[in-house]
Amino acid sequence: MQRSLSIALYWLSVTAVAADCPSLSPSQVQAELTERSQQVAQWDDAYHRQGVALIADELYDQARSQLAHLRDCFPAATPPSNRADNPLASSTGPLSHPITQTGLNKLADEAAVRQWLSTRKDLWIQPKVDGVAVTLIFADGRLQQAISRGDGSSGQDWTANARLIAELAQPLANHGALLLQGELYWRLPGHIQAKAGSLGARGKVAGLMARKNLSPAEAAQIGVFIWEWPSGPTGMPERLAGLSALGFSLPQQLSQPISNFEQAQQWRDTWYRHGLPFASDGVVLKQGTRPSGEHWQVSPPGWAAAWKYPIVQALAQVRAVRFQIGRTGRITPVLRLQPVRLDDRQISHVSLGSLQRWQQLDIRPGDQVAIALAGLTIPRLDRVVTRNPQRAELTAPLASDYHALSCWQYSPACASQFRARLIWLSGKHGLALSGVGPGTWDKLLKAQRIAGLLDWLNFTEEQLASTSGFGLRSASQLSQRLHAARQRPFQTWLRAIGLPPCGAAPLGDNWNALAQRNVAQWQTVPGISQTRARALQRFFQQPEVQALRGQLQAAGVAGF
């Protein structure tokens, strides 16, 4: 009871001062925090202990960031489990790392990168290999032990499988004691990250290394990138040269000195868009000099940081599901999203394409979804990432209620399709009325000036001027454009009011002649199939369409 009261009081105070915090009831706060914490903990366990990525890294990073933000908004409602606070909680192992594996902080944006670079000297940049981290211990030039990253302090014994990897199977030139830290990666010659993505490369390596037996063919597909020599030379050039002499040449080939943000940005873009021998999810910024290894800790160091590549997927929360009904009666569910940025664009809506897809996915407000860009411009739903445990009730329109001959008059149930008919009528496929678009029709609909598709034909300038949203000048211009529509050709008018597509078929210029045709007569017209012939006959026989014909005839439109 006391805990519930404290959550309620804090919720009231936070929602009053934190404009960017969600408006949630105490029970919703508790449910969301618990659900998100458990989900992140599940991803952590699969990734770090089992070597299985259940979610793309960039979506995981966003999910963890959103969870942290939610906790900042409602700190009194901390979930009972703290597992999500430690991503490596389940990945510890029996072997201790002689030198801690530190991990890396991820710089959020260009501003963070500029800030990080501005306070440091002797700077270097490397591709960030998308593989699995490992500690390698050598004695007398031969690999003695390979330890998985685990929780940074201890990990699993990967020695037997590591000895089958070509770069680790041969003795090194250095016959003393040697400890290296690096990445085991899946070989992808000429791999272009911007085009191909990571291809699940990390998961392949993690899965193979966790097996009891690794085949020679599988081992041949695994490479080694050494990114740290804790007891190596002090200077970066000397360390890189020393690694190359040991047989690990990639770090020297792919490490570049930099002195400013522009150079870092250039190398990041180069490695993102040009071939590398492995999948890479970003770059690593480093200081050439760093503390000796015995002082390293599990927490990310201040002398190195990651700058990830541009995200290709954004994690967005669904605010609402709306069902748009098009001119022909097609129902398209559209998700209204908490706005997210993707490729310098702000995305707040995404279409699901069809009612059937929404029914299959069962997306509700509060769910989190992954959004990508199709053709670099159109938002596309990739997958449902998490589901809101509190499933909101949604009533979708019945597909049987909407079709090509429904909703010629305005009603609440027909609002979407009727509006779509008006937009088509004045648009480029219809009458092509300059300056008459969705905004125009929305004003007239809001003012309840339009109940039927052609009610506007007899509007006077005075009527328009008295309508909210129109001034004297705009009313005069609109009146002229609407009046000019009467002069449009007969066939243009047919398309505008919704004639089914009939290609380049000759239609003539007389309504009666077309309305009297039966299915067989329509089929004699080149390009008209039986299905299209039936649709054309139904169109001309539809009572609402015949009423439109009467309005056009009364308005003096030629052909009607």
In a domain, 90, yes or no: no
Cα 75 from Cα 67, distance rounded (Å) = 11
Q: How far apart are the two ends of the chain, measured CA to CA in Å?
A: 75
Lowest mean pLDDT among 90-99, 187-196, 374-383: 90-99
Domain of 499, CATH number, reads 1.10.150.20
Please, what's the largest Cα pairwise distance for the chain?
Answer: 101
360 in a domain, yes or no?
Answer: yes
Please indicate, yes or no, whether residues 462 and 431 belong to a single structural domain of this protein.
yes
Q: Is residue 211 part of a domain?
A: yes
For residues 105 and 131, membership in a common domain is answered with yes
d(CA 288, CA 291): 10
In this structure, which amino acid lies at residue 89?
Answer: A
pLDDT in tens, 233-265: 999 999 999 999 999 999 999 999 999 999 999
For residues 296 and 153, state if they share a domain: yes
For the stretch 200-226, pLDDT in tens is 888 889 889 988 889 999 999 999 999
State the catalytic residue, choosing from 106, 121, 128, 195: 128
Range list of H helices, 334-471? 355-361, 415-426, 438-446, 461-465
- The per-residue pLDDT for 1 is 34
Give residue 389's Cα distance to chain centre.
22
Mean pLDDT computed over every residue of the chain = 88
Instruction: Identify the burial level of 2 via C-beta atoms within 10 angstroms of its C-beta, where 0-12 means exposed, 13-18 middle and 19 or more buried.
Output: exposed
Q: What is the pLDDT at residue 86?
A: 59
Q: Would you say residue 553 has pLDDT above 70?
A: yes
Range of the domain at 50: 2-85
pLDDT average, residue stretch 150-176: 90
Residue 258 lies in a domain: yes
What CATH number corresponds to the domain at position 199? 3.30.470.30
- Of 209-213, 472-476, 478-482, the range with the lowest mean pLDDT is 209-213
What are the residues facing 129 on neighbouring strands? 280
Q: Residue 560: inside a domain, yes or no?
A: no
The verdict on 507 and 429 lying in the same domain is yes
Using CA atoms, how far apart are residues 192 and 309, in angstroms rounded to an integer? 12
One domain, residues 206 and 327? no
128 catalytic, yes or no? yes
Strand partners, 369: 316, 384
pLDDT at 77 over 80: no
Average pLDDT over residues 153-172: 93
314-325 vs 280-287, strand pairing mode: unpaired
pLDDT over 70, % of the chain: 93
Amino acid identity, position 390: Q
Based on the domain organization, do 241 and 222 belong to the same domain? yes
pLDDT band at 51 (very low <50, low <70, confident <90, very high): low
Residue 9 pLDDT greater than 80, yes or no: no
Q: Does residue 129 sit in helix, strand or coil?
A: strand
Burial-class residue 71 by CB neighbours within 10 Å (0-12, 13-18, 19+).
middle
Do 135 and 209 have their domain in common? yes
**Structure-token match 């969600």, residue found:** 22
Residue 10 is predicted with a pLDDT of 36
| Domain match, 421 and 529 both | yes
Mean pLDDT of 174-201: 91
**456 or 199, higher pLDDT:** 456
pLDDT for res 103: 87
Do the Cβ atoms of 117 and 260 come closer than 8 Å?
Answer: yes
Picking from 367, 400, 433, the residue at the C-terminal end of a domain is 400
pLDDT band for 295, please (50, 70, 90 cuts).
confident
CB atoms within 10 A of CB 342: 17
Rounded mean pLDDT, 427-445: 93
- Tell me how far apart the alpha carbons of residues 329 and 420 are, in angstroms, rounded to a whole number: 9
- For residue 326, what is the domain's CATH number? 2.40.50.140
pLDDT tens-digit series, residues 333-373: 999 999 988 877 889 999 999 999 999 999 999 999 999 98
Say if residue 344 is exposed, middle or buried (CB neighbours under 10 Å; 0-12, 13-18, 19+): exposed
- How do strand 280-287 and strand 331-342 relate by DSSP bridges? unpaired
pLDDT(539) > 70: yes
Where residue 48 falls among pLDDT bands split at 50, 70, 90? low
Same domain, 106 and 42: no
One-letter identity of residue 311: I
- Examine the pLDDT at 14 and tell me if it is beyond 50: no
Q: Do 374 and 501 fall within a single domain?
A: no
Return the number of other C-beta atoms located less than 10 Å from residue 150's C-beta. Answer: 23
Q: Would you mind telling me the total number of residues written for the chain in this entry?
A: 560
Spell 272-282 as b/e; 16+ CB within 10 A means b.
Answer: beeebbbbbbb
Do both 20 and 109 map to the same domain?
Answer: no
Domain edge (last residue) among 33, 57, 85: 85
Decide: pTM greater than 0.75.
no
Total domain count, the chain: 4
- Choose the final residue of a domain: 348, 369, 400: 400
Confidence of residue 492 (pLDDT cuts 50, 70, 90): very high
377: in domain: yes
Where is pLDDT greater, at 26 or 2? 26
* pLDDT attached to residue 11: 37
Instruction: Lowest mean pLDDT of 47-56, 61-70, 154-163, 551-560, name the range.
Output: 47-56
Q: What percent of the chain has pLDDT over 90?
A: 65
> What value does the mean pLDDT take over residues 170-196?
92
Look at residue 545 and tell me whether its pLDDT is greater than 90. Answer: yes
Per-residue pLDDT of 96-147, as tens digits, reads 999 999 989 999 889 999 999 999 999 999 999 999 999 999 999 999 999 9
- Would 559 be classed as within a structural domain? no
114 and 262 co-located in one domain? yes
The secondary structure of residue 467, as a DSSP letter, is S
CB 132 within 8 A of CB 329: no
